[in-house]
Amino acid sequence: MMQIWKKACFSGLFLCLSGCADISSALNTVEVTPHMLDDHTVAISGSGSGTDSMSSVQQAVFRSAATTAKSSGYQYFLVLNEQKTQVPGPSSSYGSKKSRHTYQLMQPREELTARFYRTGEVDPNQAGVFNADTVLAESTK
């Protein structure tokens, strides 16, 4: 009887934790759009909703740069320009009659321009140069 109870508790805990993982991924509403400017250069736009942080938008933009670099046959990318902004979100939460608080949601946005390089074309230790494999490996942790 005790073994059945332990298995039931373990199964319940596992289902609860796996549900939390699904909820957190559902709350991540970052949209990323890469546009190739030429064979070696990409402009990436990323924007989140009021529930997303600036760091989650930046991570999504860098993942997109790394994925685009790898799919185009490049190993490295150099960040040429990066611009971060936060704009008021499309909706606000005005609180209740009792609390009388207003919370303004902010939409984090990032624009990134990067140039791609193959192995041997750029010094990987140069400031602003990222290894696509390293960026993709970090994003899976």
Which residues are within 8 A (CB) of 124 and not within 5 positions of it... i.e. 6 or more apart? Answer: 76, 131
Question: Quick check: 29 and 2 in contact, CB under 8 A?
Answer: no
Tell me if 69 is assigned to some domain. Answer: yes
Query: What does the pLDDT look like over 3-62, one tens digit per residue?
Result: 665 555 555 555 555 544 444 455 568 999 999 999 999 999 999 887 788 899 999 999
Question: Quick check: 130 and 82 in contact, CB under 8 A?
Answer: no
SS3 content of the chain, % helix, strand, coil (to 5): 35, 35, 30
Q: What percent of the chain is modeled with pLDDT above 70?
A: 67
Residues 81 and 8: their CA atoms lie apart, in Å, by 53
Tell me if 126 is assigned to some domain. Answer: yes
Tell me if 52 is assigned to some domain. Answer: yes
Q: What SS3 class is residue 114?
A: strand
Tell me if 55 is assigned to some domain. Answer: yes
Tell me if 38 is assigned to some domain. Answer: yes
Question: Quick check: 105 and 112 in contact, CB under 8 A?
Answer: no
Tell me if 110 is assigned to some domain. Answer: yes
Domain count, the chain: 1
Tell me if 2 is assigned to some domain. Answer: no
What's the confidence (pLDDT) of residue 24? 45
Structural domain range at position 45:
29-91+101-139
What's the confidence (pLDDT) of residue 111? 94
Residues 82 and 132: their CA atoms lie apart, in Å, by 17
Tell me if 64 is assigned to some domain. Answer: yes
Question: Quick check: 106 and 84 in contact, CB under 8 A?
Answer: no
- Please say if the pLDDT value at position 135 is more than 80: yes
Give the mean model confidence (pLDDT) for residues 81-104: 66
